[in-house]
Every structure is written in structure tokens, then in C-alpha cells.
Amino acid sequence: MKRFIVAALLLGGLPSWGFQAVSWGTVGDVIAEIIGQVQEEHLREHICQLQSREGGEYCNEQGSRWSCDGLAIDRALEYARQYFEALGLKTRLDPYSLGCRPGLSHNIEAELPGTASSQLVLLVAHLDSYVTGVSTASPAPGADDDASGSAAVFEAARIFSQYKFKHTVRFVLFTGEEQWMVGSSAYAKKLASEGAQVLGVFNMDMIGYDGDGNGLFEMWVRPGESEKLADLIIRTIETHGIALAPDVLADPRRGGDHESFWRRGYPALMIIEDTEFGETEDFNPCYHTLCDVLRMLNLSYAKRIAQAVIGAAAQLAEPIQ
Ligand SMILES: [Zn+2]
């Protein structure tokens, strides 16, 4: 902020191209400042909390966020509610029905209202987890899938809440993803029925495993607006020198919450580690097993992906200086 005032004073007397240069530079400065605030330690803490069973030792690997186990997923939702509310964000549980659980299930949404627009920028992940053969009260730590993406959404909420944006930003954690995107499907349907305008949905699902350390990650897109979201992430990586190698894939139809938005005609994309769908493969060998835990993850890689996505989402939401 200080830099803006100095630059504006210095260039205030120049013709209009000079003023535009200041304006552009200032947005770049704010984005750099936002990207610089993403902290690995915060990602670690959220993943620790989400993979742990309450009452066990700190950062144990015995927790579950299986959506069919009401106690397990509701504990994770409560963690999210407390975190978002402490940031001063308008927080709401979003009800829907899930076949495997009696009564209502919930997604959770936190909102930062735009200063001049109700068009939406969404940063999303799925809070729930799954292990093959999981049952009530058995562990499903899901550190990579998808505590890693949820942690990045929490970190985005923490950083964005310190700024103002032209457009409305929502931080949404879905449940019922592992039952075939039931939560996001209900959420996107509701958005469409309300006539909501969505500028972009950034879905981070498994952003923590980089076994070969090459920084490669994938973006799954559909032709049109969702490709522009990938372009924005690539530009952010280049402009801010983030050590990542992006690989853009045309919809491999593997499943993920972004598809719920595609079905409603909204621009969305999937951000994920190196899967078998690209030319290379470096996918988490612990996917949907009990070893999907924090110690398998590369938090520097998760941080860099979070930086790229948070920086791109901030540009789309247009920070107000
Ligand atoms: Zn997932």
C-alpha cells in the first residue's frame, strides 16, 4: 500500500499512459503481496487437524471425514465453521441429501462480499475423505485427498479476508464428493436456480504429492471459459516466478467437483497433482488408502500450487486498492 502512494505521487503529473502504468503496477504489487502470504505452516496445521482423530495425540493419522459417518464429517465441518467465522466471513452450512446418511448433509460456504459486484469467484475443495472398505468410526485420513485442497481454501480465506475485492469471493468446502460429487452437484444446481453469475470456479483436489519433485501439476479444462482460468494460473506462475510446471488437459472425465459446475454451464477447472491422464504420472500411491497421510506429502509443492491458484483467483476477483 505504501508503495502505491509513493508511485502515485511520483507519476501523478505524467500523461494518462503514465497513470495506467501505475494502476497496472499496483494490481501486480497487491497480487505479489497476496501470493507472498501463503504459508506452508498453515497448510500443515490444517492437514494435521483434518487427518487426526479427536482425543488422540497431536497430528495422529486416525481421523475420518467420510460423509456417510455423520460424527466424522460433522467434526470437520465444525472445524471449518470455526475457522471461517474467526476470519469474520459470512459463513453458512448448505444443506442437501446424501443417500448413505439419514437426515441432512452439508457443504460449508464462507463469503467475502464484493464492493461492487455480486458476480462470484469460487475457491473450492472437498472436505470429505474415503478409504476403500471404510466404515463408521474407522480411519480415512485423506491428507492429500483432499485435506490438501481444503487447507489451500482455508489459507485463501485467511489471506483474502484482509483485502477488498470488486467481485464476491466464496470459499466452499463440499462433502459427498466421494459419493460421486453429491454435495457440489446440489450446490451448483442451487446457484443456477438463483441465476448466480460465476466468473470462475477453482477446484483444488489433491495438491500435495510430488514424489519426483519436478513441480508438475495438471489443470483439467473444457474448451471456452474454463481454459481462460488455466491461462490465468499459467500467467501467474510466469509473472511471479513460481516453481511449477503446469500441464493443461482437456477433460479426462475422471470425476471431481468442477464437473458439477460444468454441467450448469459455469467456468470451472480442476487443479490436481500429476495423474495418469497426462503424459507423465507421479500420482499419490496412497490414494484412498490408510497411508494417505501428511508425512507422504510435499508441502512446498502444495504451497506453490496454492500460491498460483490464490494469485489467479485474486486477479479474477479484482483487488481494490
Ligand atoms: Zn478428491
Please say if the pLDDT value at position 62 is more than 60.
yes
Q: State the residue range of the domain holding 83.
A: 39-317
Q: Is residue 74 located within the same domain as residue 111?
A: yes
- Cα 149 to middle of ligand 1, angstroms: 9
- Cα 129 to middle of ligand 1, angstroms: 7
Please say if the pLDDT value at position 21 is more than 90.
no
Q: Is residue 19 located within the same domain as residue 167?
A: no
Q: Is residue 20 located within the same domain as residue 130?
A: no
Please say if the pLDDT value at position 196 is more than 80.
yes
Q: Which of these, 125, 114, 188, 187, lies nearest to 155 by C-alpha position?
A: 125
- Cα 140 to middle of ligand 1, angstroms: 12
**Average of pLDDT values for 253-269?**
94
- Cα 87 to middle of ligand 1, angstroms: 26
- Cα 161 to middle of ligand 1, angstroms: 26
| pLDDT tens digits, one per residue of 41-53 | 999 999 999 999 9
Q: Is residue 29 located within the same domain as residue 63?
A: no
273 contacts 302 by C-beta, under 8 angstroms: no
| pLDDT tens digits, one per residue of 105-131 | 999 999 999 999 999 999 999 999 999
- Cα 311 to middle of ligand 1, angstroms: 22
Q: In angstroms, rounded to a whole number, what is the distance separating the alpha carbons of residues 8 and 11?
A: 5
- Cα 178 to middle of ligand 1, angstroms: 7
Q: Is residue 155 located within the same domain as residue 182?
A: yes
- Cα 34 to middle of ligand 1, angstroms: 26
Q: Is residue 25 located within the same domain as residue 119?
A: no
Length of the chain: 321
**Which strand ranges, in their side-by-side order, compose the sheet holding 245-250?**
90-96, 105-112, 168-174, 120-126, 198-204, 268-273, 216-221, 245-250
| pLDDT tens digits, one per residue of 132-178 | 999 998 999 999 999 999 999 999 999 999 999 999 999 999 999 99
- Cα 271 to middle of ligand 1, angstroms: 11
The CA-based diameter of the chain, rounded to the nearest angstrom, is 69
The model's confidence at residue 22, banded by pLDDT at 50, 70 and 90, is very low
79 contacts 147 by C-beta, under 8 angstroms: no
- Cα 18 to middle of ligand 1, angstroms: 47
Global confidence as pTM: 0.92
- Cα 144 to middle of ligand 1, angstroms: 8
- Cα 177 to middle of ligand 1, angstroms: 7
- Cα 58 to middle of ligand 1, angstroms: 24
The model's confidence at residue 25, banded by pLDDT at 50, 70 and 90, is low
CATH number at residue 255: 3.40.630.10
- Cα 256 to middle of ligand 1, angstroms: 7
Q: Which residue has the higher pLDDT, 6 or 236?
A: 236
Q: In angstroms, rounded to a whole number, what is the distance separating the alpha carbons of residues 9 and 153?
A: 36
Which grid coordinates are listed for 247?
500441464
Domain count, the chain: 2
- Cα 27 to middle of ligand 1, angstroms: 33
Q: Is residue 12 located within the same domain as residue 97?
A: no
Q: Is residue 18 located within the same domain as residue 137?
A: no
Q: Is residue 270 located within the same domain as residue 126?
A: yes
Q: Please state, for a pLDDT cut of 70, what percent of the chain lies above it.
A: 92
Q: Is residue 128 located within the same domain as residue 13?
A: no
pLDDT at 19: 38
Q: Which residue has the higher pLDDT, 293 or 253?
A: 293
107 contacts 174 by C-beta, under 8 angstroms: yes
- Cα 286 to middle of ligand 1, angstroms: 12
Q: Is residue 122 located within the same domain as residue 23?
A: no
- Cα 235 to middle of ligand 1, angstroms: 26
255 contacts 180 by C-beta, under 8 angstroms: yes
- Cα 206 to middle of ligand 1, angstroms: 6
| pLDDT tens digits, one per residue of 209-230 | 999 999 999 999 999 999 999 9
pLDDT at 14: 35
- Cα 205 to middle of ligand 1, angstroms: 5
Q: Is residue 31 located within the same domain as residue 46?
A: no
Q: In angstroms, rounded to a whole number, what is the distance separating the alpha carbons of residues 55 and 78?
A: 16
